Amino acid sequence: MKINPRCAHCLLTRVHYEAELSTDDEQLLHEAVRAGIDVLNKTYRPGRPAGEISTAVHRKVYEVLGDNDPYLNLKKLSNDIAEDILPVAKKRVYEGGPRNKELFRRAVLASVIGNTFDFGVVGFDVAPDVFDQTFNQTFEQGLDVDDTSSMFEMLDDVVYIADNCGEILLDTIVFDIIRELGGTVTLVVRGAPILNDVTLEDVYNYGIDKKVDHLLTTGSNAIGVNFDDVSDKLLKAFDNASLIISKGMANYETLSEHNLGPIAYLLKTKCESVASDLGLETGYTIAKLVNKQ
């Protein structure tokens, strides 16, 4: 996805948000915001991929703050909230003993609901006291874009690119069902902390490594997937996958720049730029399959 004029405001809002997570030193806050503006001014060009610009901005801000993981406490909170909701989600997915295709659809829906909440994205901050209520309401509404029936036929060798902490625990329901159906899962997480995204540390802390067949990283703390940083193993996994599943907007922003496929985008359209690029409205819960290649 290419940079959109709307992205500048959103990006700088997030810069301020993460700076406040890291420090209450007003001078340092000013320095962090100025650094973000400076990088944005140098890198913002129409037609450039959005992920390249946002990666450059966040990396500079982290450097100025002297903090390689400003979201650390919020990531723990996200996982705590998800741990509480996981039994509720599993009950909703499995209740009534649905057939396999419906079971998979429900699991994907639960996973996408996990992507609904996102610290630092205006209008989508996690609300711990209403998370379970909102989960059930959204589960009843279902997916706005539902390509799970087609995805169901492609589960032999799945590469699953994770997004945020918290929602990764709901993703494990999808992992379980894919493997119950005889498929394999290669989980891909960030190579180092960026925003509230999942890293290897989170995977091992919650035993998620035992839920998948293979575990890889993106090779860096780039927003989404930067193909200059990925390993040959990950490139090979993409080539051999029966289906690539991409969680969240950042992964969409970067992966949509490449000729990968078949690839399924699981996300909530939390911003106009991503929604517009997908040809959708904001606020949609989607499991959209794109057959490229």
* Whole-number average pLDDT of the chain: 93
Largest alpha-carbon pair distance within the chain?
58
Tokens found for residue 180? 């119950």
**Looking at residue 78, what is its pLDDT?**
86
pLDDT, position 129: 60
* Torsion angles phi and psi, residue 210, rounded to 5: -80, -10
Facing residues of 170 across strands?
none
Region of 96 (left: φ > 0; alpha: ψ -120 to 50; beta: rest) is left
Q: Which is more confidently placed, 124 or 22?
A: 22
Higher pLDDT, 138 or 38: 38
For residues 286 and 65, what is the distance between their CA atoms, to the nearest angstrom? 35
**pTM score, two decimals?**
0.94
Task: Reduce the DSSP state of residue 208 to 3 states and report it.
Answer: helix
Concatenating the DSSP letter of every residue in 10-34 gives: HHHHHHHHHHHHH---HHHHHHHHH
Percent of the chain with pLDDT over 70: 94
Distance CA 143, CA 65 (A): 39
Residue 81: per-residue pLDDT: 84
Q: Is 211 left (phi over 0), alpha (psi -120 to 50) or beta?
A: alpha
Do 195 and 253 touch, CB atoms closer than 8 A?
no
* Mean pLDDT (whole number) for 219-240: 97
Report pLDDT for 118. 64
Q: Which domains does the chain have, with CATH numbers?
A: 5-65 (1.10.8.380), 72-290 (3.40.50.10880)
Predicted confidence at residue 137, as pLDDT, reads 87
263-268 and 157-161 strand pairing: unpaired
In the chain, DSSP assigns E strands to 145-146, 157-161, 184-189, 214-217, 243-247, 263-268, 285-290
Predicted confidence (pLDDT) at residue 177 exceeds the cutoff of 90:
yes
Q: What is the mean pLDDT of residues 15-43?
A: 97
Asked if residue 125 has pLDDT above 60, the reply is no
Q: Output the pLDDT for position 120.
A: 47
Q: Looking at residues 59-88, what average pLDDT do you find?
A: 93
Sheet with 184-189: strands ordered across:
145-146, 285-290, 263-268, 243-247, 157-161, 184-189, 214-217
The confidence band for 122, taking pLDDT boundaries of 50, 70 and 90, is very low
pLDDT at 77: 87
Which residue from 242, 280, 282, 248 is spatially nearest to 260, judged by alpha carbons? 242
pLDDT tier for residue 127 given thresholds of 50, 70 and 90: low
The answer, yes or no, to whether residue 291 has pLDDT greater than 90, is no
* Position 213 pLDDT exceeds 70: yes
User: What average pLDDT score do residues 71-82 get?
Assistant: 90
Q: What number is the average pLDDT over the span 68-92?
A: 91
